[in-house]
A = this chain, B = another copy of it.
Amino acid sequence: MEVGFLGLGIMGKAMAMNLLRNGFKVTVWNRTLSKCDELVEHGAAVGETPAAVVKKCKYTIAMLSDPSAAISVVYDKDGVLEEICNGKSYIDMSTVDADTSIKISEGIISKGGRFLEGPVSGSKKPAEDGQLIILAAGEKGLYDEAIPIFDVLGKKSFFLGQVGNGAKMKLVVNMIMGSMMNAFSEGLELTESSGLDPRTLLDVLDLGAMANPMFKMKGPSMLQSKYPPAFPLKHQQKDMRLALALGDENAVSMPVAAAANEAFKKARSMGLGDQDFSAVHEAIKGPKHP
Contact = CB atoms under 8 A, between A and B. Distances in A.
Interface string A185-225: 01101110111110011011101111111100100000000
Contact of A175 (B169, B190, B209): B190
Interface stretch (A11-19, A53-61, A109-117, A258-266): A258-266
Given A194-B168, A207-B133, A209-B212, A263 B255 contact: yes
Interface stretch (A36-44, A77-85, A155-163): A155-163
Contacts of A248: 241, 265
Contacts of A187: 172-173, 175-176
B246 A265 contact: no
A253 interface: yes
A225 to B, nearest CB: 15
Contacts of A1: none
Contacts of A189: 252, 254
A210 B177 contact: yes
Contacts of A175: 183, 186-187, 190
A23 interface: no
A169 B201 contact: yes
A287 B156 CA distance: 36
The secondary structure that dominates the A interface is helix
B204 A253 contact: no
How many copies of this chain does one complex carry? 4
Interface string A246-290: 111011111111111111011011110000000000011011111
B158 A247 contact: no
Given A176-B205, A190-B247, A209-B214, 16 more contacts: A160-B200, A173-B208, A176-B186, A179-B180, A179-B183, A180-B180, A180-B183, A190-B250, A190-B252, A193-B247, A209-B213, A253-B266, A255-B262, A258-B258, A269-B287, A271-B289
Q: Which 4 A-B pairs have the closest CB atoms?
A: A179-B183, A271-B289, A253-B266, A251-B269
28 contacts: A121-B204, A133-B204, A133-B207, A133-B208, A135-B204, A156-B207, A160-B197, A169-B201, A173-B201, A175-B187, A176-B184, A176-B186, A176-B210, A179-B183, A180-B180, A180-B210, A182-B256, A186-B252, A190-B254, A193-B250, A193-B251, A194-B250, A209-B214, A248-B265, A255-B262, A256-B260, A256-B263, A258-B262
